[in-house]
Amino acid sequence: MQHEIKFQENKSFVTLRTSGELTFDGLQFMLTELLGDPRWTSSLNALVDNRAASFDTLSLYDLRKMSLLVTKFKDALGPGACAIVLPDEGGFTKMAMWKIMTEPAVPFKIEYFDSIITAKEWLNKSS
């Protein structure tokens, strides 16, 4: 899994772009890099652009590990909003399972979108 983190100038969110096969190790590396960046604050919202990512090999076990990882970082991630843009129905199905596991344990809102424009609009309303 590859990723790019881009802090938006004068915006209230950070963009995380992923590509390739999504993995637990890739998510852990991305979160560690994000939370270690001096520009990160727990008041920022996040736009996770997974349109170039593949969910094909993610198992239920992988989703559970990813959920526990995000829950571990819940205080550092903060109470903001997380808009996740997905490439296809397979991504929506797997991420819906992840959301069910994760959202009750974290202080932030999670929503899924098939449009980057709609996701940005939702984040701007959530600020």
Write the pLDDT tens digit of every residue in 83-102: 999 987 778 889 999 999 99
Q: What would the CATH number be for the domain defined by 2-126?
A: 3.30.750.24
The residue ranges of every structural domain in the chain are 2-126
- The model carries a pTM of 0.92
The candidate with the shortest Cα–Cα distance to 84, out of 52, 47, 58, 118, is 47
Distance CA 97, CA 61 (A): 11
- Reading the block at residue 49, the tokens are 């652009």
User: In the predicted model, what is the mean pLDDT of the chain?
Assistant: 93
Other Cβ atoms closer than 10 A to 36: 9
